Chain A
Amino acid sequence: MPLESNSIGRFRFPRPAGLDRFLQSVRRIGERSLVSRLLALLMLGAVVVYLIVNVGLWWTASNLIDDNLEKQAARWLSELDELGTPLYASHGGRHVSNIDKRIRHFPEIAFIRYYDASGKKILGEYGDRRGVEIPPLKPDQIRELSGASGTERDYLVDRAILSGAYLRFISPIRVRSIRSDGLLGFSLENEKPENVKVIGYIDLSIDSGYYKEQLVRSIASGSLVIAALMAVGLFFGSRIIRKALAPLTALQVPLARLAQGETDVNVERAKDAEIAVISDALNTTIRALRDRDETLRKMAESDPLTGLVNRSLFRRELEAEIEQAERDAVPSAVFFIDLDQFKYVNDTLGHAAGDKLLISVAELLKSRVRDKDVVSRFGGDEFTVLARNVSREDAVELARSFNQIMRDMRLVEGEKILSVNCSIGIAMIEPGRHSAEEILAHADMACFEAKSHGRNRMHMYEEEGEGRKEMAMDIGWFQHIKQIIEQDRFRLMYQPIADVVHPDKESYEVLLRMPGPNGEIVLPSIFLPVAQRFGLMTDIDRWVIVHALKAQADFRASGRDAIFSINLSGQSLEDASILQLIKDHLTLNRLPPNRVIFEITEQSAMRYLDKARHLIQGLVDIGCRFALDDFGTGFSSFSYLKQLPVDFIKIDGSFIKNMAQNSMDETMVLSIIQIARSLGKQTVAEFVPDEKTITMLKASGVDYLQGFYIGAPSEKLSVNLRVVSKTKKNAS
Chain B
Amino acid sequence: MLHSMCMNEVARGVTLQQTFPCIQGLVRAVPLLFVLAGLVTGCSTAPLKPAPPKPAPPKLAPGIAILMSDRLPAFVGVQREIEKRYSQRIENYYLGSNETANSAVQKKIQSSDISQIVAIGLPAAQVAHSLSGKRVVFCQVFNYEDTDLVTSWMKGVAATSPASEQFRVWKQLSPRLKKVGVITGKNLHALMEEAQAAARENGLELVHVEVRSDKETLYAYKQMVPKIQGLWLVPDNRVLSREVIRDVMAHSVRAGKQVAVFSHQLLALGGLVSAESGYADIAEQVLERLKQAHKDTGAPITPLTRATIRINTVMAKRLNLPIPKTLRGLARAP
Q: Which A residues are closer than 8 A to B by beta carbons? A: 81-82, 85-86, 88-89, 173, 175-188, 194, 197, 199
Q: Which B residues are closer than 8 A to A by beta carbons? A: 69-70, 72-75, 77, 121-123, 140, 142-143, 159, 211-216, 218-219, 222, 235-244, 262-263, 265-266, 268-269
Taking the nearest CB of chain B, how far is it from the CB of A176, in angstroms? 4
Q: Which residues of B contact A86 (CB under 8 A)?
A: 219
Decide if B240 touches A177 in the complex (CB within 8 Å): yes
Say whether, besides A178-B237, A180-B123, A181-B69, A194 and B219 are in contact (CB < 8 Å): no
Decide if B159 touches A184 in the complex (CB within 8 Å): yes
Decide if A186 touches B235 in the complex (CB within 8 Å): yes
Decide if A183 touches B235 in the complex (CB within 8 Å): yes
Say whether, besides A89-B212, A181-B75, A184-B140, A194 and B242 are in contact (CB < 8 Å): yes
Decide if B121 touches A186 in the complex (CB within 8 Å): no
Q: Which residues of B contact A178 (CB under 8 A)?
A: 237, 240-242
Say whether, besides A180-B143, A180-B237, A199 and B213 are in contact (CB < 8 Å): yes
Q: Which residues of A contact B69 (CB under 8 A)?
A: 181
Closest 4 CB pairs between A and B? A185-B74, A176-B241, A175-B213, A183-B235
* Pick from A176, A183, A197: contact of B142, CB under 8 Å: A183
Taking the nearest CB of chain A, how far is it from the CB of B138, in angstroms? 12
Q: Which residues of A contact B121 (CB under 8 A)?
A: 180-181, 184
Taking the nearest CB of chain B, how far is it from the CB of A521, in angstroms? 129
Q: Give the nearest-CB partner of A175 in chain B.
A: B213
Taking the nearest CB of chain A, how far is it from the CB of B35, in angstroms? 42
Decide if A82 touches B263 in the complex (CB within 8 Å): no
* Pick from B211, B214, B222: contact of A176, CB under 8 Å: B214
Taking the nearest CB of chain B, how far is it from the CB of A130, in angstroms? 23
Q: Which residues of A contact B216 (CB under 8 A)?
A: 85, 88-89
Decide if A181 touches B140 in the complex (CB within 8 Å): yes
Q: Which residues of B contact A82 (CB under 8 A)?
A: 215, 218-219, 222
Q: Which residues of B contact A180 (CB under 8 A)?
A: 121-123, 142-143, 237
Taking A81-B215, A176-B214, A199-B215 as known contacts, 19 extra A-B pairs with beta carbons closer than 8 A to each other, sorted by chain A number, are A82-B219, A86-B219, A88-B215, A89-B216, A176-B243, A177-B214, A177-B237, A177-B238, A178-B237, A180-B143, A183-B236, A183-B262, A185-B73, A186-B235, A188-B242, A188-B266, A188-B269, A194-B241, A194-B242
Q: SS class of chain B's interface: helix, strand, loop or mixed?
A: helix
Taking the nearest CB of chain A, how far is it from the CB of B141, in angstroms? 8
Say whether, besides A186-B265, A194-B241, A181 and B215 are in contact (CB < 8 Å): no
Decide if A181 touches B70 in the complex (CB within 8 Å): yes
Decide if A85 touches B123 in the complex (CB within 8 Å): no
Q: Which residues of B contact A176 (CB under 8 A)?
A: 214, 241-244
Decide if A173 touches B235 in the complex (CB within 8 Å): no
In the complex the two chains form, what is the Cα distance from A173 to B143 in whole Å?
25
* Pick from A81, A85, A89, A182: contact of B237, CB under 8 Å: A182
Say whether, besides A88-B215, A186-B262, A179 and B72 are in contact (CB < 8 Å): no
In the complex the two chains form, what is the Cα distance from A316 to B73 in whole Å?
133
Decide if B213 touches A177 in the complex (CB within 8 Å): yes
Decide if B219 touches A89 in the complex (CB within 8 Å): yes
In the complex the two chains form, what is the Cα distance from A599 to B75 in whole Å?
146
In the complex the two chains form, what is the Cα distance from A185 to B264 in whole Å?
10
Say whether, besides A85-B219, A184-B159, A177 and B239 are in contact (CB < 8 Å): yes
Q: Give the nearest-CB partner of B212 in chain A.
A: A89
Q: Which residues of A contact B74 (CB under 8 A)?
A: 181, 184-185
Taking the nearest CB of chain B, how far is it from the CB of A732, in angstroms? 143
Decide if A188 touches B213 in the complex (CB within 8 Å): no
Q: Which residues of A contact B263 (CB under 8 A)?
A: 183, 186-187
25 pairs of residues in contact across A and B, judged by CB atoms under 8 Å? A82-B222, A85-B218, A89-B219, A175-B241, A176-B214, A176-B242, A176-B243, A177-B214, A177-B240, A180-B142, A180-B237, A181-B70, A181-B74, A181-B75, A181-B122, A181-B237, A183-B142, A183-B237, A184-B74, A184-B142, A186-B235, A186-B263, A187-B263, A188-B269, A199-B213
Q: Which of B159, B211, B237 has the most CB of A within 10 A?
A: B237
Q: Which of A178, A181, A182, A183 has the most CB of B within 10 A?
A: A181
In the complex the two chains form, what is the Cα distance from A375 to B73 in whole Å?
140
Decide if A184 touches B235 in the complex (CB within 8 Å): yes
Taking the nearest CB of chain A, how far is it from the CB of B208, in angstroms? 16
Q: Which residues of B contact A175 (CB under 8 A)?
A: 213-215, 241
Q: Which residues of B contact A182 (CB under 8 A)?
A: 237
Decide if B241 touches A179 in the complex (CB within 8 Å): no
In the complex the two chains form, what is the Cα distance from A183 to B266 in whole Å?
11
Decide if A184 touches B215 in the complex (CB within 8 Å): no
Q: Which residues of B contact A194 (CB under 8 A)?
A: 241-242
In the complex the two chains form, what is the Cα distance from A186 to B215 in whole Å?
20
Taking the nearest CB of chain A, how far is it from the CB of B37, in angstroms? 42
Q: Give the nearest-CB partner of B185 in chain A.
A: A177
Q: Which residues of B contact A81 (CB under 8 A)?
A: 215
Taking the nearest CB of chain A, how far is it from the CB of B263, in angstroms? 4
Q: Which residues of A contact B242 (CB under 8 A)?
A: 176, 178, 188, 194
Taking the nearest CB of chain B, how far is it from the CB of A687, in angstroms? 138
Q: Which residues of B contact A179 (CB under 8 A)?
A: 237
Decide if A177 touches B73 in the complex (CB within 8 Å): no
Q: Which of A89, A177, A179, A194 has the most CB of B within 10 A?
A: A177
* Pick from B70, B122, B211, B244: contact of A89, CB under 8 Å: B211
In the complex the two chains form, what is the Cα distance from A186 to B276 in whole Å?
10
Q: Which residues of A contact B240 (CB under 8 A)?
A: 177-178, 183
Q: Give the nearest-CB partner of A185 in chain B.
A: B74
Q: Which residues of B contact A88 (CB under 8 A)?
A: 213, 215-216
Q: Give the nearest-CB partner of B121 in chain A.
A: A181
Q: Give the nearest-CB partner of A184 in chain B.
A: B74
In the complex the two chains form, what is the Cα distance from A188 to B334 in whole Å?
13
Q: Give the nearest-CB partner of A85 in chain B.
A: B219
Say whether, besides A85-B219, A175-B213, A188 and B268 are in contact (CB < 8 Å): yes
Taking the nearest CB of chain B, how far is it from the CB of A320, in angstroms? 110
Decide if A185 touches B215 in the complex (CB within 8 Å): no
Taking the nearest CB of chain A, how far is it from the CB of B87, in angstroms? 27
In the complex the two chains form, what is the Cα distance from A188 to B242 in whole Å?
8
Say whether, besides A180-B122, A181-B72, A185-B72, A173 and B215 are in contact (CB < 8 Å): yes
In the complex the two chains form, what is the Cα distance from A85 to B73 in whole Å?
35
